[in-house]
Amino acid sequence: MVNKIISKSQEFFNRKSNSILSAAAIIGVSYLGSALLGLVKNHLLAARFFGGMETDLDVYFAAFVIPDTVFQLLVVGAVSAAFIPVYQEYFEKSEEEAHRLANTALTTVGFYLLIISTLIAIFARPLAGLLAHFPAEKLDLMAGLIRLMSLAQILFAVSAFLTGVLQSQRRFLIPAIAPLLYNIGTILGIYFLSSRYGIYSAAIGVVFGAFLHMAIQLPTAKGLGYWPGIRWQPKHPGVLSMISLMPPRALSLGLDQIERWVAVNLSSLLAAGSLSIFNFARQLYVLPISLFGVSLSQASFPSLAREALSTDKTQFKSTLSKAILQIFFFALPASVLVLVLRIPLVRLAFGAKNFPWEATLLTGKALAFLSLSIAPQAVTNSLTRALHALKDTKTPLVIGFITMVFFIGSAYLLGLSTEKNVAGITLALSLGNLLDFGLSYWAVRIKVGPLGISTRIFKMVIVSLFTAVSLWLPMRLLDQLVFDTTRTLPLIILTLVVSSVGFCVYLFFCWLFEIEELKDVIYIVKKVGNWRKILASSDEVLETTPNNI
């Protein structure tokens, strides 16, 4: 009986995903779970380390940026854009040769990562001073955290290649579970070690979480015939091919990292806790973008890539238009909900004795500015992928550069001169995202012509405005007359009741305005009973990238 249970469990976890929907469902659910665990993690961080004239939590968030930047540029850039397509090409010819390529690529990338990580460890103190404006003793602490968390990136490098191998063979479940274990490892480190090691407990948790992220994937990889090992052959044709594919993706990631460095640098010039508040607000802002924008854009990408090969772009435009409208349908009410319920959401996510009311209000203000660009930023993912499907990687890079320059200038102006707090930086980020969306939409329109969706988007915006009113009025009335929101349970009930009212109003006005995307949702709900058949009805593979945070 026990052997049968073990056998069935292994079969379930090693199951091959044969459709876009099944892979998207796995990744979407795992992302939601990882995001919720991330909120628990940050709640613990706020409860244990937020406060004081120079909060250690700011130092921790700043320290994380340097090793993670190296990982994003070197490892994520290599695996997501270069390793997976080359590995798949080799795998179709010879499974054994593909596994040799994997270890050769891992050894080559790992070698450079080890050298860079060693240099970072040696020069951690001056790098800390370059990135942030903390007092000397906090920069010393930051250097120590950088050195410790650099170890995690080496473990993540091995894990990223394991993820690449598994996803190339359509095994999505275990790689999707790995980020959950990473967050669990970090939470355990904070919970059990914070009283003894202080903020170092979070860094220890990061290392432990990275180990779990790697370890969970090893058995499945071994079952597929792959085991990570050292194989030094830097002139291997597959490795050279991989390296040639890396620059565009690395440059794109580099622009994102520059914006991140600027945000850290500016936040460290503001009041203590500003960087922590920025990260907390950004985490709530990113959740709906990833849940709706990233998942739907990834699901549509294989179809867009295939349809872009045709000289007639009618079907391409139809697929892209449908993806954009679906994202707006979900992301617009989500952005409205985040805007109106920002304070309850911040209190539920990060509220603690060490997280004062002033910090809650500032986080809410920062989140309000970010919420303005949730829907456009979610759609930008699809627009960028559409350009990639058209084999145009230059335009997204140019747009990314323009957006980066705009963000840097406006962040310094709004963050240090106008708002003089972290909310100014989030406003600059939101304006930059709106510019990114506008330029990307314009670029796609030039490539394929008008998409013909402006009227339908306008109707969704109007419906979302009605939804905003339906959220704000009951929230104010219930907060003042019914619920004692100084307590957690009434605050949860208030949030659930108001959200339910807003959801019903949104659906009603979508029906009244005859918004077609509502019909798609109703159709999916009716088909829930046939979910097994639906999930198995396609042979397409969903493109994904490793997640190391």
**pLDDT tens-digit profile of 449-497?**
888 888 889 999 999 999 999 889 888 888 777 777 777 788 888 888 8
Query: Mean pLDDT across the stretch 229-239?
Result: 87
pLDDT at 53: 47
User: What are the φ and ψ backbone dihedral angles of 486, each rounded to 5 degrees?
Assistant: -75, -15
- Report in angstroms the alpha-carbon separations of 481 from 205, 299, 486, 495, 543: 43, 45, 13, 15, 50
* pLDDT of res. 354: 76
Distance CA 128, CA 61 (A): 12
Query: What residue type is 448 in one-letter code?
Result: V
Helices and strands (H, E) in the chain, number of each type: 24, 0
280 vs 290 pLDDT, higher one:
280
**Cross-strand bridge partners of residue 355:** 352
Per-residue pLDDT, averaged over 421-447, amounts to: 93
Burial 453-468 (b: 16+ CB within 10 A, else e): beebbebbeebbebbb
The answer to whether the beta carbons of residues 521 and 55 sit under 8 Å apart is no
pLDDT surpasses 90 at 333:
yes
Q: How far apart are CA 364 and CA 307, in angstroms?
A: 42
Tokens representing 62 are 């700043």
| Domain spans, the chain | 7-267, 270-540
**How much is the pLDDT for 131?**
93
The yes-or-no verdict on residue 296 having pLDDT over 90 is: no
Residues 137-150 have a mean pLDDT of: 95
Burial tier of 87 (Cβ tally within 10 Å: 0-12, 13-18, 19+)? buried
pLDDT given for residue 189 in this prediction? 95
Kindly give, in sequence order, each residue whose CB lies less than 8 Å from that of residue 242, ignoring residues fewer than 6 positions away: 78, 82, 83, 86, 105
pLDDT > 60? residue 67: yes
- For residue 298, what pLDDT is reported? 64
Query: Of the spans 309-323, 333-347, 375-389, 411-425, which averages the highest pLDDT?
Result: 333-347
State yes or no: pLDDT of 3 exceeds 50.
no
Averaged pLDDT for residues 385-400:
84
Q: For the ranges 6-10, 69-73, 169-173, 387-391, which has the lowest average pLDDT?
A: 6-10
Q: What is the mean pLDDT of the chain?
A: 83
Judge whether 223 and 165 are in contact, CB under 8 Å: no
What is the Cα–Cα distance from 240 to 201, expressed in whole angstroms? 40
Question: Mean per-residue pLDDT for 224-251?
Answer: 84
Between residues 521 and 502, the one the model is more confident about: 502
Looking at residue 530, what is its pLDDT? 52
Over residues 251-276, mean pLDDT: 87
CA distance 492 to 505: 20
First to last CA, the chain: 38
Instruction: Write down the pLDDT at residue 525.
Output: 59
Decide which of 95 and 392 is more confident: 95
**Residue 315, pLDDT above cutoff 90:** no
pLDDT (average), residues 195-211: 95
CA 369 to chain centre: 19
Average pLDDT (51-79) is 82
Bridge partners for 352 per DSSP: 355
Query: Nearest 5°: CA angle at 189, between 186 and 194?
Result: 125
Say yes or no to pLDDT of 9 above 70: no
Q: Annotate 197-253 with DSSP letters as a single string.
A: HTTHHHHHHHHHHHHHHHHTTHHHHHHTT--------TT-HHHHHHHHHHHHHHHHH
DSSP letters spanning 85-104: HHHHHHHHH-HHHHHHHHHH
For the residues 208-235, what does the mean pLDDT come to? 91
Cα(154)–Cα(160) distance, integer angstroms = 10
**Residue 297 · residue 381 · CB < 8 Å:** yes
Which of 319-323, 331-335, 479-483 holds the top average pLDDT?
A: 331-335
Report, as an integer, the average pLDDT of 293-310: 71
Residue 18 banded pLDDT, cuts 50, 70, 90: very low
Per-residue pLDDT, 302 = 60
Position 63, amino acid: A
pLDDT at 17 over 50: no
What integer is the mean pLDDT of 34-42? Answer: 87
DSSP E strands: which ranges in 343-388?
Answer: none
Q: Which residues of 160-181 are buried (b: 16+ CB within 10 A; e: fewer)?
A: bbbbbbbbbbbbbbbbbbbbbb
Distance CA 496, CA 515 (A): 25
pLDDT grade, residue 107 (50/70/90)? very high
Categorize the per-residue pLDDT at 30 as very low, low, confident or very high, splitting at 50, 70 and 90: confident
Q: Helix 314-340 to helix 357-371 angle, to the nearest 10 degrees?
A: 160
Mean pLDDT of 258-287: 90
Distance of CA 464 to the CA centre of its chain: 24
Query: What are the two backbone dihedrals, phi and then psi, of residue 352, each rounded to the nearest 5 degrees?
Result: -160, 165
| Band (24; pLDDT cuts 50, 70, 90) | low
* pLDDT value at 534 more than 50: no
Distances (CA, A) of 145 to 7, 133, 254: 42, 16, 22
Query: Exposed, middle or buried: residue 198 (CB in 10 Å: 0-12, 13-18, 19+)?
Result: middle
Asked whether residue 395 carries a pLDDT value surpassing 50, the answer given is yes
Give the pLDDT confidence score for residue 356 in this predicted structure. 85
pLDDT band, residue 340 (cuts 50/70/90) = very high
Confidence category of residue 533, pLDDT binned at 50, 70, 90: low
From CA 172, how far away is CA 14, in angstroms rounded? 9
In whole angstroms, what is the distance from residue 371 CA to residue 419 CA? 17
The Cα 14–Cα 488 span in angstroms is: 41
Compute the distance between CA of residue 119 and CA of residue 346 in angstroms, rounded to an integer. 38
Count of alpha carbons within 13 Å of 228, Cβ hemisphere only?
A: 24
Answer whether residue 295 shows pLDDT above 50: yes
The torsion angle over the Cα atoms of residues 210, 70, 269 and 417, rounded to 10 degrees, is: -120
231-262 burial string, b = 16+ CB within 10 Å, else e? beeeebebbebbbebbebbbbbbbbebbbebb
Of the candidate ranges 13-22, 90-99, 371-380, 476-485, the one whose mean pLDDT is the lowest? 13-22
More confident residue, 377 or 540: 377
Q: Mean pLDDT check: name the lowest of 283-287, 324-328, 540-544.
A: 540-544
Per DSSP, the residues of 105-131 read: HHHHHHHHHHHHHHHHHHTHHHHHHHH
DSSP for 432-443, written as a single string:
HHHHHHHHHHHH
User: 306 falls in which pLDDT band (50, 70, 90)?
Assistant: confident
- Report percent pLDDT > 90 for the chain: 39
CB 23 within 8 A of CB 538: no
Tokens of 519: 């019909």
Of 357, 355, 487, 363, nearest in space to 45 by CA: 355
In this prediction, residue 292 carries a pLDDT of 79
How many angstroms separate the Cα of 234 from the Cα of each of 27, 96, 110, 237, 241? 33, 18, 11, 9, 11
